[in-house]
Structure formats: C-alpha cells, structure tokens
Amino acid sequence: MKNSSKQLARLTQTALFIGLALALRSFSTMIFFFGAPGMRISFSPIFTRLPALLFGPVMGGMAGGIVDVLGYILKPEGAYIPLMTLTAILDGVLTGLVWKGISKAEPKKLQTALWVIFALIGVMGGINMISTAFYPDSLISRALEGVGKNKEFLESGLLVVAGVGILLLVLDIIARKVFPQARGHKYYIRVLIAYGVAGLVVTVLNTFILQIFIPDLGKMGFIVFLMPRLVKEVFMMVIQSYIAAFLISIYYRIAGPTLSQAG
C-alpha cells in the first residue's frame, strides 16, 4: 500500500510537471532555416526533465514523450516526425540515468573528471584536424576519410564539444563566485551534467533527423546546421540547469527525498 501511494504521488507530480512544461512550450519560439523549422527556444525542458531527476529514467522518458506529442498537437510547427518523439523519450531516459549515476558524487571530483574528459576530447579533435591538413596519407586521415560526411564532426565537431564543455565549467566557477549563497549550488553541477549529456546527445541526433526528413535542411552542411543549435542548447542548458537545481533544493526542503529515486 505504501509503495502504491508513492507511485501515485510520483505520477501526480509528473503530470503536474508535464502541464508546466506544456504551458512553457506554448510560449516557445521557433527559428526557421530556409523556411523550415530548425531550432526551438523554450524553457519547457526544465520541467520535462525534472521527473527524470526526481523519480528516475522511466518517468523522465514518459514525460519527454508525452510533452513532445501533446506539444505538437497544441502548437504544430512543421511536419510531425515520429523519430523526434523517440529522441524526446531518450532525452528523459538519459537525464535520469546520468543523474542516477552522479547524484551522490562530490561536485569537486565531478569537475576534475570533466576537465580531463573535455581536454581529451579537444586533443582528439585537434589531432584529427592536424592529421587531415598536414598528413593526408596517415592512418588517421584515411580512417577519417572512410566515415564520409561525418568526418567534420570528428574534427571540428570534437573541438566544439570540448569548447562547450570547458565553457560550462568556467560558467559554473563564475556563478559560484558571483552568487556564493545561492540555494541551488549543491545540485547545480550535477544537474548541468545530466541536462548537458542528454541535451547534447539529443541535439546531435535531432540534427541528423531533421536533415534526413526536411530536404531544405538537408542541403546545409551538418556542422553548419549543428553549430547554431549547439550554441542555443548550451546557452539554454546553463539557465535551465540553474533553475532546475534551485527547484530541486526547494522540493527536497519541503517534501524531502522520500518520493525520489535519488537525492
């Protein structure tokens, strides 16, 4: 009976977050590329992903899929693409899985690990670019040529990912110095990682999907189309993560972690 009550409470609160996400999505702005919808600016992911943080990946995936379908019904923009609903579900699942894995980790250790990871990604991208430019007959260059049009992502794309990651870490340091007493600091770096991993993975996947299903977008180079989408994702991710971290701190303060998967 106790478990049933908890599950009902989680479903009820998830429904509330879905409603808030849909309300925010109705005020979103769609940016068009060559007349085709290519990038949405919205704060709805704050609440779409909260169930993943509080109640786990299953609730997160469910919230992501429902918001995507209902959001399209309420405010259709362009053709409906089922694969985008699948990536919306993946977004919630990934957010929940990443959060579950790092929710107990110490922020300083996470920061150190991230600095190392992003530095290695940047080095890999730099090596790939140098090999292609100056050593076209090397094993690395031939391997890159073999991946076809995705070669750009393994060169400049990796450098972009590294730059984005390092920028996020720098912004976190700045935020802690500017707002040392802010309530959400306890959770911010972990929320940022969870939102960041899900957001960046889904952004890359959705870029592929949009270019496949919308011919006008397919005419653009992958990196050319991906870059503004990544910039938008990073900018919104920083703001959304900070708000979500603050809301989580309030949630645990009021309700405690009794209904959540991790806290």
Residue 244 has pLDDT above 80, yes or no: yes
Cα separation values, 127 from 56, 131, 153, 186, Å: 38, 6, 13, 37
Tell how far CA 206 is from the center of its chain: 11
Supply angle C-alpha 241, 244, 248, rounded to 5. 135
Residue 228 has pLDDT above 90, yes or no: no
Handedness of CA 49, 72, 199, 84 (dihedral sign): positive
Look at 73 and 226; give whichever has higher pLDDT: 73
pLDDT tens for 163-182 read 877 887 787 777 777 666 55
pLDDT of residue 209: 94
Residue 263 has pLDDT above 70, yes or no: no
CA dist 187 and 171 (Å) reads 15
Residue 123 has pLDDT above 60, yes or no: yes
Residue 197 has pLDDT above 80, yes or no: yes
Average pLDDT over residues 44-67: 95
Average pLDDT over residues 91-116: 85
Handedness of CA 49, 61, 79, 34 (dihedral sign): positive
Confidence of residue 46 (pLDDT cuts 50, 70, 90): very high
For the chain, the average pLDDT equals 84
Domain ranges of the chain: 2-259
pLDDT > 90 fraction of the chain, expressed in percent and rounded: 33
Concatenated DSSP letters for the chain? -HHHHHHHHHHHHHHHHHHHHHHHHTT-EEEEETTEEEEEE-STHHHHHHHHHHH-HHHHHHHHHHHHHHHHHHS--S---HHHHHHHHHHHHHHHHHHHHHTTS-HHHHHHHHHHHHHHHHHHHHHHHHHHHH-TTSHHHHHHHTTGGGHHIIIIIHHHHHHHHHHHHHHHHHHHHHSTT-TTHHHHHHHHHHHHHHHHHHHHHHHHHHHHH-HHHHTS-HHHHHHHHHHHHHHHHHHHHHHHHHHHHHHHHHT-GGGSS--
Average pLDDT over residues 143-161: 70
Average pLDDT over residues 55-83: 93
Task: Give this prediction's pTM.
Answer: 0.78
174 C-beta neighbours (distance < 10 Å), count: 10
Torsion of CA 84, 77, 35, 232, to 10 degrees: -60
Residue 161 has pLDDT above 80, yes or no: no
Confidence of residue 132 (pLDDT cuts 50, 70, 90): confident
Confidence of residue 138 (pLDDT cuts 50, 70, 90): confident
pLDDT of residue 262: 46
